[in-house]
Amino acid sequence: MGKRGFWAHAGAGLFALLLLYPLAGMWAPVGRWQWSGEAGAASAAAIRVSLELTALAMAIVVMIGTPAALYIRRLRGAARAWWQAALLISILIPSLALGILLALALRPEAGVGALLARLGMETTNSGAAFVVTQVYVSIGYYVLGALVALEAVPRRLEQQAALLGLGPAAVFRRVTLPLATLGLAAALGFAWVRAIGEFGAVVITAYYPAGMPVQLWVDLESRGLPAVMPLLLAFLLAALPVPMLLHFAARRSLAGGGRDA
């Protein structure tokens, strides 16, 4: 290894250490961690709320976002630019602003909120409000990521499959989806992290039931760092591994499909 290569590796290693340095805070001397009594029960409930409702939100994101990405993929010109602008706006709205706007737009006195209220759905401080907020904050990330993944699939392969007699659904299932699996998994991973980590919008629309970000804030304000740390560890373990697991599962599925072929 030459001198230039050594300094390049050293600089890259230093950059990686700086990126990961905040994790050193997990070993800070904050006192004995508290995972018992009322604090432990609240943390366990927050973990359950976040995992269950975020999983539901991701199912909705995939069911809505994948057809949306397929539709946008076919567009050209101004129509495509309009859709991409709409997705970017949904991503760029600040979290607190989005929470306030959602709370106002879904108020039970008028509009969609009134319709949902008549159907028995509470649009604030409910599981439904939690899921709706998570869908809003994450679906733009998923659709843009899915669009990139779908664009990477060669159109000629899809056209050849269609010429061989496969219908649109079969072409998607047998050609498009396998080739876009890694990209779709990455898009879902980003959406998961964005949704499960959302605080600003959720604290406005769904303070109850408290997910992990809101409960972390409550614990920090009322119980201090010793009560925060166990839930913080659970929060990191829920957020960080999922994108990597999705990536590895997608790679394994892709490799298995290649062997089967």
Q: 258 vs 163, which has greater pLDDT?
A: 163
Asked whether residue 27 is assigned to any structural domain, the reply reads: no
Asked whether residue 140 is assigned to any structural domain, the reply reads: yes
Contact 149, 187 (CB under 8 A): yes
Asked whether residue 49 is assigned to any structural domain, the reply reads: yes
Asked whether residue 230 is assigned to any structural domain, the reply reads: yes
What are the distances in angstroms from CA 248 to CA 100, 152, 182? 37, 19, 9
Span 165-193, average pLDDT: 90
At 90-110, the pLDDT tens digits run: 999 999 999 999 999 998 887
CATH value at residue 203: 1.10.3720.10
CB count within 10 Å of CB 42 equals: 18
Asked whether residue 117 is assigned to any structural domain, the reply reads: yes
Asked whether residue 29 is assigned to any structural domain, the reply reads: no
Q: How far apart are CA 163 and CA 157, in angstroms?
A: 10
**Which distant-in-sequence residues (6+ apart) come within 8 Å of 234 by Cβ?**
43, 47, 212
Asked whether residue 14 is assigned to any structural domain, the reply reads: no
Whether the pLDDT of residue 255 is over 70: the answer is no
Span 219-228, average pLDDT: 90
Contact 152, 180 (CB under 8 A): yes
- pTM of the predicted model as reported, rounded to 2 decimal places: 0.87
Closest CA to 90 of 126, 153, 134, 26: 134
Residue that the structure tokens 């600040």 belong to: 94
**Domain limits for position 254:** 37-260
The predicted pLDDT at position 257 comes to 57
Asked whether residue 24 is assigned to any structural domain, the reply reads: no
What are the distances in angstroms from CA 74 to CA 10, 61, 67? 45, 20, 11
If one counts the domains in the chain, the total is 1
